[in-house]
Amino acid sequence: MRKLLLTLVAIAVAAAVVALVEPLRTALSHALHGDVDALQLQLQDLGVGGALVLVAIILVHAVVLFPAEIPNAVAGLVYGFAVALPIVMVAWTLSGLIAYALGVWIGRPLAVRLAGEERVKTAERVIGRGGAPALVMSRLVPFVPFSLVGYIAGATRVPVWRYTWTSFVGVLPITAAATYLGHALDDLSASDPLLWVAVGTLLALLVLTATVARRMRQSSR
């Protein structure tokens, strides 16, 4: 009970910081509402500070769930693929470690409180299949929320190094694809081979997601 109370206090303090820091509050609102154009304009107006705001909202994702593809695509649009990809990959790795630490600290109750029972059960089924391949798979399939994997991995005491490298490897394809698509929005060209690689990656992940979901439904019967 004490751990849960302390964690909720820490989350409340983080929420207060977000509420008091206007650029961060505004950026998080844009991400939650899926307003890509507004987030793009804000980051551009902030200059170098925009990158810090981008990292901050990705870190906040550890406790506030929103589509991860939004900051990834906006990062590519604002900073270009070569600059944006390292920024968002480092930020997502740190965000994942925050979620993992929260999972270690109070475990499953936090996951249920923040993500709901059904999502938690889905993540547990995927991660419960065992080992590094299951962790990589949980990151590859978009229907498992990013932070939720961290909560469950922390709660079940997955070794932190295994969790970190599998998270990095697992999110790299969809993160790179979303970031490149954001970068390409300013100048879409059917002759751009990397654009087709990004689109193909997203389609492959969608097929993988559908396949995994179907097998999970069959195995649960």
Residue given tokens 């299951």 in the structure block: 134
State the CB neighbour count (10 A cutoff) for residue 191: 6
Question: Chain-centre distance of CA 16, in angstroms?
Answer: 22
pLDDT tops 90 at residue 42: yes
More confident residue, 170 or 55: 55
Task: Tell me how far CA of residue 158 lies from CA of 50, 97, 143, 216, 221, in angstroms.
Answer: 34, 12, 21, 22, 27
pLDDT tens readout for residues 115-136: 677 777 766 776 765 577 778 8
CA–CA distance, 141 with 136 (Å, rounded to integer)? 9
